[in-house]
Amino acid sequence: MNYKHLAESAIKAKQNALPLYSNFYVGAAVLTSGDNVYTGCNIESSSYSLTICAERTAIFKAISEGEREFKAIAVAGDMEDYISPCGACRQVISDLCGEIDIIMVNSNGDYIVKKTSELLPFAFGDKDFE
């Protein structure tokens, strides 16, 4: 799968976001090793700690369907700059997806690609930095 299609899936997933308080729409699409795509969006609660990001929604959906191996994840927002996963999502990506490509999409549909370790060097639980 080419990453343009994955980026477009993330952009489309933004439409389902429920950002009740921030009004910040985010969509994500995770690509599995079997080339299946699972999408997610951010969903907010008045108790902010119960809010879930788009990236975690997509990953948890994939895992709940039995997926365990991932190739990439795209995240799209409404910013002119490229949107980057938050710290919590970076840790979840590291823990559950491993070293994958992270496609960060801007509001124009352009994207850049980084590896998990580039966004979260010396990740908690990483034994390779000794």
d(CA 21, CA 11) in angstroms, rounded, equals: 20
Q: 8 catalytic, yes or no?
A: no
d(CA 98, CA 122) in angstroms, rounded, equals: 13
Given the residues 8, 44, 55, 80, the one annotated as active site: 55
Are 91 and 124 in contact by the 8 Å Cβ rule? The answer is yes
3-state secondary structure of 8: helix
Sign of torsion over alpha carbons 78, 84, 88, 94: positive
Instruction: Give catalytic residues, as residue numbers.
Output: 55
